[in-house]
């Protein structure tokens, strides 16, 4: 396994993403100086000017592995009923795949749509949203596959997203060949919502391509209960690393924490020392 750094941690730049080319180059060089061998570029929520070839040259010169995270926040109701939201989602995913090509990456990860309300959603609307998301993904998975790029769907398998359980999420993902569509497991969000990490890891093990790593608690407010530095929450990371070894996972552990440079480095060192021993 390799410990990577997500380019979004507030506190690292003291600003919020999305970042343009100059900030991303600064991020990549800083990550390398801290000993990271891999970075995740994203989230690409809005279209910003990223010079892919320039970014690739710097990544290559530093011998840094890379992938892309689109991280779009798509309004599920609008996605189901308007072309505008559908096209926005399609353009963002397409842009992420194109950036992968430019920086010589083979993986882009994306979000499913979510509902802006936690009120109960009609089965008809839920079905329509999933059908349209399936249509969009089929188109973009084919585009990615032609360019030798895989797509990973992030594990938002609970309300207010369009999947309400691990089983529903995996039924959807299983509509695609495993060599074309995989899963990005976000352990902080899954833990916070009350899903068992053992169950999630085993459900995803044959499609697991990346893992977002941050500590979490079971407090109600996800904004304060997730994206914590390792040790600031309640996740047993030693147990989780053992679980990943048990299922044969040997991919990325991508730190997605909100913290200082010191907290990011300490989290990195903890993971690497745990893997070593």
| Rounded Cα gap, residues 203 and 183, in angstroms | 10
Range of the domain at 223: 2-276
Q: What local confidence, expressed as pLDDT, does residue 42 receive?
A: 82
Instruction: Give every CB contact of residue 146 below 8 A, 6+ residues apart in sequence.
Output: none
| Rounded Cα gap, residues 255 and 186, in angstroms | 10
Lowest mean pLDDT among 6-10, 111-115, 128-132, 260-264: 6-10
pLDDT of residue 48 exceeding 90: no
pLDDT of residue 19 exceeding 80: no
Chain mean pLDDT for the chain: 93
Confidence of residue 165 (pLDDT cuts 50, 70, 90): very high
- Give per-residue burial for 91-122: e unless 16+ CB within 10 Å, then b: ebbbbbbbbbbbbebbbbbbbbbbbeeeeebe
Q: What local confidence, expressed as pLDDT, does residue 211 receive?
A: 98
Tell me if 67 sits within 8 A of 106, measured CB to CB. yes
Share of the chain above pLDDT 70, in %: 95
Confidence of residue 73 (pLDDT cuts 50, 70, 90): confident
> Per residue in 96-118, pLDDT tens?
999 999 999 999 999 999 998 77
Confidence of residue 202 (pLDDT cuts 50, 70, 90): very high
Tell me if 89 sits within 8 A of 113, measured CB to CB. yes
> Per residue in 215-260, pLDDT tens?
999 998 888 999 999 999 999 999 999 999 999 999 999 999 988 8
Give the C-alpha distances (Å, rounded to integers) separating 252 from 99, 193, 236, 257: 19, 23, 18, 15
Please compute the mean of the pLDDT values over residues 147-153 and round it to a whole number.
98
| CATH code for position 271 | 3.20.20.150
pLDDT of residue 47 exceeding 60: no
User: How many domains are there within the chain?
Assistant: 1
Closest CA to 112 of 47, 195, 67, 170: 170
Q: Full-prediction pTM beyond 0.75?
A: yes
Q: What local confidence, expressed as pLDDT, does residue 248 receive?
A: 97
């Amino acid at each position: 396994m390799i410990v990577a750094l997500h380019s979004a941690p507030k506190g690292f730049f003291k600003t919020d993403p999305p970042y343009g080319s100059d900030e991303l180059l600064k991020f990549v060089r800083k990550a390398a100086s801290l000993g990271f061998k891999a970075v995740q570029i994203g989230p690409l929520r809005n279209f910003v000017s990223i010079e892919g070839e320039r970014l690739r040259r710097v990544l290559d010169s530093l011998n840094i592995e890379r992938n892309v995270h689109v991280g779009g926040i798509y309004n599920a109701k609008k996605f189901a009923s308007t072309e505008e939201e559908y096209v926005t989602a399609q353009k963002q995913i397409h842009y992420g795949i194109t950036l992968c090509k430019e920086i010589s990456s083979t993986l882009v990860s994306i979000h499913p749509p979510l509902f802006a309300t936690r009120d109960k959603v009609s089965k008809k609307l839920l079905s329509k949203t999933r059908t349209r998301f399936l249509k969009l993904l089929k188109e973009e998975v084919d585009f990615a596959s032609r360019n030798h790029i895989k797509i990973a769907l992030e594990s938002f398998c609970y309300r207010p997203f369009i999947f309400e359980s691990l089983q529903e999420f995996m039924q959807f993902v299983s509509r695609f060949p495993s060599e074309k569509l995989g899963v990005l497991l976000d352990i902080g969000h899954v833990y916070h919502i009350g899903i068992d990490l053992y169950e999630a890891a085993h459900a995803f093990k044959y499609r697991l391509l990346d893992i977002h790593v941050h500590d979490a608690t079971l407090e109600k407010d996800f904004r304060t209960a997730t994206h914590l530095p390792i040790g600031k929450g309640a996740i047993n990371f030693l147990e989780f690393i053992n679980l990943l070894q048990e299922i044969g996972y040997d991919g990325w552990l991508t730190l997605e924490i909100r913290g200082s440079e010191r907290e990011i480095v300490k989290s990195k060192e903890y993971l690497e020392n745990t893997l070593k021993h």
